[in-house]
Amino acid sequence: MSAQNSKIDAVKMMLLVGGFAAIYFVASGADLWTTALALHRPDASEGNVFATTSGAYNSARAWWITNAAAVLVIGLFVQGAAYAGRVSPYWLDRPMRSYFYRYFNPLFIDTWSQRSRDRAPIHAVSFALAFVVLRFLAAGNNLMIAAGYAGPLGLAVRAVGRLTTPGTGLLLAMGALYIALAIGVSPVSAILLKSLRTERDRQASA
């Protein structure tokens, strides 16, 4: 289960990073556009308290948060891709199981740790991908609200928020979904990381 330190295909990595960045902004734009659409309903309100000003939705702030998050999320994807050569073939074949190994890393992304570097790049890429999936789900949730239905994500956030605070409810409800999505998309992350290895290294680890 040790890290392999294989070489990676730099050109393919740049293409993957560029593609991911494009998908990130498509998902983010869809989320923000559908948010504005849903808020046209008189009974709708913005559940993300961090994108509001005095209780009202602030589009400029929402885009500022989106752009700031882009630096972190795309950076996370780049980090995982750059260290693809360190991932053990054992974990590439068992990406979901890699989250439950005995050396638990609460951040899942410490690619420098000797104890977790053989699987941490999978987690870094997975959390980046999960963020994009989460925004597409949020866009779908917004479309349901715009159509007059109750949005399940908003219901979950409000339910937890009533037991805590609105901000805490958002972080706990969406955070739990985010972690579940990261684990769920890890097989896709493993496929992407495998694709970055050079042909010679893929043959050597086969």
**Which phi and psi (to 5°) does residue 82 adopt?**
-65, -30
Would you write out the chain's pLDDT as a tens digit for each of its 206 residues?
A: 555 556 778 889 999 999 999 999 999 999 999 998 988 887 777 667 677 777 788 888 999 999 999 999 999 999 999 999 889 999 999 999 998 876 655 555 666 677 788 898 999 999 999 999 999 999 999 999 999 888 898 889 889 988 888 888 888 999 999 999 999 999 999 999 999 986 445 544 44
- Residue 44 CA to residue 46 CA, distance in Å, equals 7
Quick one: pLDDT at residue 200? Answer: 43
pLDDT computed for residue 107 by the predictor: 56
DSSP one-letter code for 57: E
Question: Residue ranges of the domains in the chain?
Answer: 10-205
**Length of the chain counted residue by residue:** 206
Residue 126 CA to residue 159 CA, distance in Å, equals 27
Q: β-strands 56-57, 52-53: how paired?
A: antiparallel
**8 A C-beta contact, residue 134 and residue 128:** no
What pLDDT was estimated at residue 198? 67
Residue partners of 127: CB distance under 8 A and separation at least 6:
76, 108, 109, 178, 182
- What is the rounded CA–CA span in Å between residue 188 and residue 24? 16
pLDDT of residue 103: 60
